[in-house]
Amino acid sequence: MRTDWEVLTKEHESWEKCARHYARYTARNVSYFFLCDSCTVLLVSNALNNRPALYHGDRMQGFCGLCNELTDVALRQWFMCLPCYNVVAAYQKGFTSAKAVHAFWRSSIAPLAPSLSLAETDVVTLSPYVRGGKTKRQAAELLDTADFLVSEKVDGNVAPKFHIELKAGPGAVDDMSAFQLDVNDYNDIVGPVLLTGLPAYVFHVQIGMEYFPPTRRAVARNMWWTDMISLRSSLTKRAQRRDEVKAALYFDPKCFRPISDFPNQVTTRAYEQMAEELRRVPLAME
């Protein structure tokens, strides 16, 4: 474990400035993360503008707050504004949910359909806060990929077949009274469908936390799936969220099915029929 970490001092120009904001942005909030050495280096160079931490604690065994491994970690502190803290704290869950999709594919789909390949097209990447930077949300209408793209290789030719959009949350679909999506998030899925003419599935990964105090890691507990045509026809309510400008869409969670039913979609090539159906069913919502 490294001990030669540079730490931020009061004289540093980034003192009481958000580490993730590239421009100097006052932030007196101190964020806490338990991280392994390599994740600390990654985070600092890719997301924190090479700003030194305020503090590196003693080594201890625990779950890394980025890679989720049980390993040697240490408490690290940075000045960080709350929105940036939320982004950095969410990486742990983002990595876990993407990993769950890859693992499901390897164990349940690859043996059934070896000609299909899964590519992660919107990889969770560590990045600093860039003002005016095009986020996925803002670029939605230009987006031709969702989170994953499944392609088929036949006689050396690779043809894209369908998209998979990944949603993660603490809830089990079985316990939900409604599956909720912002209109923007919904249209992030519709955009690639309309641009490519390929159908899309939505996977919901239930993410829970496992504790090894004072550390914790994200774990994927369960997974469900639906397709965009089923989702669209399960809309029950459209409402303005309280205290928010964004409109939210509410869907009947019964349109989601256990992930153990998904391999059937692949063996019956249901996505090909769905591509036909998409030409008749309007998906977009304002």
- Shortest Å distance, C-beta 204 to Zn ion: 26
Closest to Zn ion by CB, 33 or 224: 33
Which range, of 75-83, 99-107, 138-146, 147-155, touches Zn ion by CB under 5 A?
75-83
Report the 10 Å Cβ neighbour count for 77: 17
Whether 169 contacts 206, CB under 8 Å: yes
Cis peptide before 253 (omega within 30 of 0): no
**Tokens for 110?**
């690859």
Closest to Zn ion by CB, 213 or 282: 213
Closest to Zn ion by CB, 62 or 191: 62
**Under the criterion CB under 5 A, does residue 66 sit at the interface with Zn ion?**
yes
**Under the criterion CB under 5 A, does residue 87 sit at the interface with Zn ion?**
no
Which range, of 99-107, 124-132, 199-207, 271-279, touches Zn ion by CB under 5 A?
124-132
- Shortest Å distance, C-beta 39 to Zn ion: 3
Which range, of 17-25, 91-99, 181-189, 210-218, touches Zn ion by CB under 5 A?
17-25
- Shortest Å distance, C-beta 36 to Zn ion: 4
- Shortest Å distance, C-beta 65 to Zn ion: 7
Using CA atoms, how far apart are residues 72 and 84, in angstroms rounded to an integer?
Answer: 25
Q: Which of 8, 18, 74, 75 binds Zn ion (CB under 5 A)?
A: 18
- Shortest Å distance, C-beta 89 to Zn ion: 13
* x/- letters, 34..63, toward Zn ion (CB under 5 A): --x--x------------------------
Q: Nearest-CA neighbor of 250 among 263, 260, 240, 264?
A: 240
Which range, of 16-24, 47-55, 171-179, 272-280, touches Zn ion by CB under 5 A?
16-24
Q: What is the DSSP letter of 26?
A: B
Whether 27 contacts 35, CB under 8 Å: no
Closest to Zn ion by CB, 217 or 232: 217
Strands 157-169 and 179-182: unpaired
Q: Which of 8, 43, 48, 81 binds Zn ion (CB under 5 A)?
A: 81
**Tokens for 285?**
């919502």
Report the 10 Å Cβ neighbour count for 162: 26
Strands 215-227 and 200-212: antiparallel
- Shortest Å distance, C-beta 84 to Zn ion: 3
**Tokens for 163?**
């998209």
- Shortest Å distance, C-beta 82 to Zn ion: 8
Helices (H), the chain: 37-46, 82-104, 183-196, 228-232, 263-267, 270-278
Whether 54 contacts 78, CB under 8 Å: yes
Using CA atoms, how far apart are residues 62 and 68, in angstroms rounded to an integer?
Answer: 9
Name the residues that contact Zn ion, by CB under 5 A: 18, 20-21, 36, 39, 64, 66-67, 81, 84, 129
